[in-house]
Structure 1
Amino acid sequence: MFAPLIGGEWLLVLAVLSALLVGICLFTRLPGSVWRGVAAVLLLAVLANPMIVRERREILPDIVALIIDDSPSQQLDGRADRAVAAAELIRAQLARLPDLQLREMRIGESLGGTRLFAAVEKLMFDVPAERVAGIIMISDGQVHDVPPQALQSQLSGPVHALLTGDPEQQDRRLSIAQAPKFGIV
């Protein structure tokens, strides 16, 4: 392997000029022509900067995060059973892939609700972005810490959400459109 000290084009130009000058010296039988040729070859060898490189590489496994929602809303309507079955299937499929490490975390409801993305940060804080193979979240879809759009692009690797709820069900939201300024109790 070579790491030339000057550009490869300049090294080639110097080699051609050196060969031409040494050839002229040899043709005209100047004394010391052979030594000039040896000096030119040594100078070109130094400028070419030859190296012996021995690399020992280890294949590091890619890492998949599996986050399983264990919040109270997950206990409704058989969602917990579907989550367990899905997690077992995912584990089995990922176990067949070589050079893949699975990190798993179950999370419950915290003070601010279901915090799946906080669990991802906690689980993958020490993993370089180029080793993240993906993030799989098994949840009913009620996540309370979805990062803003600007931060979502910083998630390394694909994020997959496996929803355990019934697709026909919809979340209900109660909002107070107009409230009196006071109330009598």
Structure 2
Amino acid sequence: MGMHIGLVAAQTSVAELSAALLKACPNLELVASQKEFASADDLWAWKEANEQFVSAADWSQDTPGKSVYMFWQDGPWAILLDPDYTLASNDNLLQTLSSTFGKVLSFVVESAGGCAFFWCYENGVQRRQISNTDGEVTLEGEPLAEETGIDANNYYMEETEALWRAFGIAPYERLESAVGCIAISVIDRTDYSDL
């Protein structure tokens, strides 16, 4: 079974993380939000109804498309689910969030592309990064205590799940129940065509 997930975790509340995200990303315009979901099916239905893919060829400032991000509380961690991996892999955003909240973790796994990434920022500084791209693993920073027993040199899906557990995070359990989940729909009118 594959894994396709992007997560950002910060030691704060869901309300504070969602507000900090919008403050750190002024290009994101909030267009809708939902705070109560009766079930995971309701959460995913809301996501589908409030997102809109627009290809680069069809993009304009009048038709920018919409993205949906979901948040939930998991013990001391507020979790952001980023289905497109753009926020979860944004070093500047992770640095900014960690300047606000202290410790911020980010996990990206895309098994279809054979890659997995982990970042740990603390007080605005990157402490650790593990990158696996097609089996080539790069390690930056000193190993964290939570990595004990995890083979970082073979970092992939199992190691990602082990690292979640070491930090006390259980993302799939919260998503399956949708208890305490909130979702936001945003648009970005920034023209990225020059990039």
Common fold by TM > 0.5: no
| Higher Rg | 1
With the shorter chain as reference, the TM-score category is under 0.3
Task: Tell me the TM-score normalised to structure 1 length.
Answer: 0.28
Query: Using CA pairs below 8 Å that are at least 6 residues apart, which structure has the higher relative contact order?
Result: 2
From the two aligned structures, give the one with the greater helix fraction.
1
From the two aligned structures, give the one with the greater strand fraction.
2
